[in-house]
A and B are shown apart, each in its own frame.
Chain A
């Protein structure tokens, strides 16, 4: 089955540690996205990538980093510089050209204490 996988489902880290969230897709989509979700705030875009080896900052990129070395993979690193990293993180992918709907993975819930 085609789809997007995110691992792990739950992640716990101590403050000051970097952590990398995995996102893999087998939909042959060119574009991939990372969102952060907090209660009552909807989804906020962290980073997105339209092609391999290229990515752009979204609305809340500070404290995060990404790489896009393969079409299928778009890992997100939450660095120690992110002041409030505890959140639900969602990865998505889409075709680079229309009709533009994005398909989402199941999410990773990160808790930093």
Chain B
């Protein structure tokens, strides 16, 4: 079975500091991996995705993530945090089934950005 673990339900950084949100997955087959962002009382917005090919994936708003198969990780980073980055972030892995595809989500990491 495939699953996703996000380490740290809350992360706090100073504005301008590095953002690092951790995600580890378990999968018996090569995974498709995603990061989503959610602002309060809104839906989820896709930040970036890894399917195949280049292991360093760039997304919107200056975020990027690196797929490391040996570590079964897909951590999300941003070099310099901005106040507008404060939100909840979800890592997800897709499960391919005979009936279609399903996303399994981590429990989320709330990012706080302080002045």
Chain A residues engaging chain B, CB cutoff 8 angstroms: 4, 6, 31, 33, 40-43, 45, 48, 50, 56, 58, 88, 90, 92, 94, 96, 98-107, 109
Contact = CB atoms under 8 A, between A and B. Distances in A.
8 shortest interchain CB distances as A-B pairs: A104-B43, A50-B100, A42-B107, A104-B44, A43-B105, A42-B105, A100-B94, A106-B43
B102 A107 contact: no
Interface residues on B, range: 20 to 34
8 contacts: A31-B100, A42-B90, A42-B106, A43-B90, A96-B100, A100-B96, A102-B103, A106-B43
A88 B40 CA distance: 11
B21 to A, nearest CB: 14
B28 interface: no
B4 to A, nearest CB: 9
B41 A107 contact: yes
Contacts of B108: 40, 42
Contact of B9 (A4, A40, A43): A40
A45 B102 contact: yes
B32 A99 contact: yes
Contact of A40 (B44, B100, B101, B107): B107
Nearest to A99: B51
Contacts of A106: 42-43
Contact of A101 (B42, B49, B96): B49
B107 A101 contact: no
Which of A50, A99, A100, A107 has its CB near the most chain B CB atoms (within 10 A)?
A100
A100 B90 contact: no
Contacts of B30: none
Nearest to B101: A100
Nearest to B91: A42
A107 B46 contact: no
B32 to A, nearest CB: 5
B45 interface: yes
